[in-house]
């Protein structure tokens, strides 16, 4: 469940890219298209040099502290994470988080996404003590912005439950799972 969430937010960053851009160089557009083609074919290793090139182009074109550059960092972090290269993904996600916090404030949905993705990297590294406060902060932001009954909040709660189970906190995990299930059930009932 937690791994699927990481993929979802990274893929969203990729497919939302045209909406992010103002003036994009033809080289950057071409690199992103190549990345998209390779990524959609599951050719993640082959996509890495193309995506690294896109990151360099983006940093030059937009600047190192621009949200569009942060989106490129997230895209590259996806590739690393998909190959288990978490030590390389983590610094990119930290940079993304710092940019998003600076640009949008500490309680923005992009910050929540960055936090969730960073927590997932920590989770996969077995750094549960580092993952927990990051995941809790992401959940708190999502609850505040989206409301406690939103399906995205339910997914965040479920992610947190996975972490709690991993750390053998079964009672807390069961409570979180029940809460996520209740939200999902409510939405399923409302959509009938």
pLDDT at residue number 12: 46
Predicted pLDDT at 20:
43
For residues 112-119, give the mean pLDDT: 94
Instruction: Please state, in angstroms and rounded to a whole number, the distance separating the CA atoms of residues 144 and 141.
Output: 5
Average pLDDT, stretch 39-59?
94
Q: What per-residue confidence (pLDDT) applies to 192?
A: 79
Structure-token match 């949200």, residue found: 67
Dist CA 159 CA 139 (whole Å): 9
Whole-number pLDDT of residue 23: 55
Average pLDDT in the 158-180 region? 95
Mean pLDDT value across residues 81-102: 96
pLDDT value, residue 9: 47
Domains, the chain, in order of start with CATH, read 2-190 (1.25.40.10)
The rounded percent of the chain whose pLDDT value lies above 70 is: 88
Mean pLDDT of the chain: 88
Q: With bands split at pLDDT 50, 70 and 90, how would you rate the model's confidence at 24? A: confident
Are the C-beta atoms of 31 and 54 separated by less than 8 Å?
yes
89-94: long-range contacts, CB 8 A cutoff, minimum separation 24 = 89/121, 90/118, 90/121, 90/122, 90/125, 93/117, 93/118, 93/121, 94/118
Which pLDDT does position 190 carry in this prediction? 84
Residue 108 has pLDDT above 90, yes or no: yes
The DSSP letter of residue 106 is T
Q: What is the pLDDT of residue 22?
A: 55
């Amino acid at each position: 469940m937690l791994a699927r969430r990481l993929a979802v937010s990274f893929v969203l960053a990729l497919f939302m890219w045209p909406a992010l851009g103002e003036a994009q160089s033809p080289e950057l557009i071409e690199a992103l298209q190549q990345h998209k083609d390779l990524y959609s074919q599951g050719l993640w290793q082959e996509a890495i040099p193309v995506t690294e090139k896109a990151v360099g182009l983006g940093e030059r074109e937009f600047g190192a502290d621009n949200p569009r550059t942060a989106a490129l960092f997230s895209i590259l972090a996806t590739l690393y994470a998909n190959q288990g290269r978490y030590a390389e993904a983590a610094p990119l996600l930290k940079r993304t988080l710092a940019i998003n916090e600076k640009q949008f404030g500490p309680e923005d949905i992009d910050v929540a996404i960055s936090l969730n993705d960073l927590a997932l990297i920590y989770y996969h590294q077995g750094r549960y003590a580092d993952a927990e406060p990051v995941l809790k902060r992401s959940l708190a932001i999502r609850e505040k912005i989206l409301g406690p009954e939103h399906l995205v909040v339910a997914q965040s709660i479920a992610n947190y439950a996975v972490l709690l189970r991993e750390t053998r906190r079964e009672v807390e995990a069961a409570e979180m799972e029940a809460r996520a299930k209740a939200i999902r059930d409510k939405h399923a009932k409302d959509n009938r």
